[in-house]
Amino acid sequence: MFTVTKYVMIWAGFWKLEIKENLKLPYKIWQLYMMWAYVSVTLGITGNVIYVLQRDPVRIIEAIGVAISDYTIMLKLLLCSQRKITQLLQIAVQDDEIVSSKNPTLNRMLCIHKKSVSIMGLFIVTYTFAFCFYLCIYGGPVQYRIYQMKFPNATEKPEYILSMWFPFDIQNHFDLALFLQCFIYIQSSAANFASMVHVNTLMSYAVIKLKMLEYYFRNFDTFPQEIHSEDPVYRNRMAVKNLENLIRKHQFIIGFIKDLNECMRTTLLIEFSLSSLMLASITSQIISSGDIAFAIYESDWYNYNAKVGKLIFIVVMRARRELTLDIGPFGPNTLEAAKTRMQVAYSYLSVISGSKRNN
């Protein structure tokens, strides 16, 4: 189910679960290399802020903006590397129930979710990598070529093209600096898509488990097959047993989402600022866990005794309580919240654009 997640996290150097014995040493070397890329880009961008502040204050806003973006991405990845988050990822990756099912309906649903999770992961990686590659090439070599065509007799190199500081004379080694910037940026882009795929995986797992529970509760009197016995006492006993098992599964996923919420409040706040619509669309599926109440109400619960009715009532009351993932201090992450944040961002952009035109 989460094969793409595994390879993406390995690529980023942040996979902390089991790995083949013969690959442990190569992976350790790869981890050190990726750590070098992350540290290099962060130090280079930070150094550029200091350099620009001293030499070219006009570019300080641009330099600070690049630095904030880098710090945000690195902070997200560090937050996703928490021990508790790793434990939650291990639960999702090692859950055999979501891999396949003998039930044709559930198996079709799992296949659809498997494809959607894989496609989303590949899309995040492809989009992030392609966008970073485009920015590096267009903002680097292409802009340098345009500068050379406009100013063929220029004696100084266009330092404004570089957004990193290097411990050597840029004017004498400009081509090397340009190459290193592109290379390090593209390598360190793994930090961005790894954190996004990580979040998407955990939230998708919660959605899949909730969808499976909906199906189980709607058809609770068909699992296990012996429940179709003609003996009403036996039928009721098996119904109670099956409901108790489903209730435990429901409690497990509630606990999973609560743990996820506790670990990822800050992560979600940061992620929300970069891709609010994507997160809100996934979260809206999680907080709709109330559908479980409708699912079990549509079953044939009224054919059983009072104890079954009481268990049904407990499930309905528990399912009606919303499960939420909070955006730091801003409350639940919903589509309405995403719309509000985008409206605020648009208003801010309009004010800034208007002030620039007036100036």
**Domain boundaries, position 224:** 219-359
Question: What average pLDDT does this structure show over 104-109?
Answer: 84
292 is a domain residue: yes
Structure tokens belonging to residue 18 = 């089991």
Residue 334 or residue 245, greater confidence? 245
**Least confident residue range of 26-30, 88-92, 147-151, 224-228:** 224-228
Summarised one tens digit per residue, pLDDT across range 254-297 is 898 888 888 777 666 665 555 554 455 455 555 556 678 778 88
Question: What average pLDDT does this structure show over 319-344?
Answer: 62
94 is a domain residue: no
236 is a domain residue: yes
Considering its fold, how many domains does the chain have in total? 1
Question: What average pLDDT does this structure show over 197-204?
Answer: 83
319 is a domain residue: yes
Summarised one tens digit per residue, pLDDT across range 215-269 is 888 887 775 555 555 667 777 887 888 888 889 988 999 898 888 888 777 666 6
Q: Band the pLDDT of 140: cuts 50, 70, 90.
A: confident
At CA 322, angle to CA 319 and CA 324, rounded to 5?
Answer: 135
Is the pLDDT at 349 greater than 60? The verdict is no
CA–CA distance, 44 with 62 (Å, rounded to integer): 14
Predicted TM-score (pTM) above 0.75: no
Cβ atoms of 50 and 241 within 8 Å: the answer is no
Comparing C-alpha atoms, which of 122, 120, 95, 117 is closest to residue 2? Answer: 117
HEC profile for the chain?
Answer: CCHHHHHHHHHHCCCCCCCCHHHHHHHHHHHHHHHHHHHHHHHHHHHHHHHHHHHCHHHHHHHHHHHHHHHHHHHHHHHHCCHHHHHHHHHHHCCHHHCCCCCHHHHHHHHHHHHHHHHHHHHHHHHHHHHHHHHHHHHHHHHHHHHHHHCCCCCCCCHHHCCCCCCCCCCCCHHHHHHHHHHHHHHHHHHHHHHHHHHHHHHHHHHHHHHHHHHHHHCHHHCCHHHHCCCHHHHHHHHHHHHHHHHHHHHHHHHHHHHHHHHHHHHHHHHHHHHHHHHHHHHHHHCCCCHHHHHHHCCCHHHCCHHHHHHHHHHHHHHCCCCCCECHHHCECCHHHHHHHHHHHHHHHHHHHHHHHHC
Q: What values do phi and psi take at 325, rounded to 5?
A: -120, 115
Residue 52 or residue 224, greater confidence? 52
351 is a domain residue: yes
330 is a domain residue: yes
Average pLDDT, the chain: 78
Question: Inter-axis angle of helices 104-137 and 3-12, to 10 degrees?
Answer: 30
CA–CA distance, 235 with 315 (Å, rounded to integer): 19
309 is a domain residue: yes
Q: Name the β-bridge partners of 332.
A: 326
71 is a domain residue: no
Comparing C-alpha atoms, which of 42, 14, 2 is closest to residue 195? Answer: 14
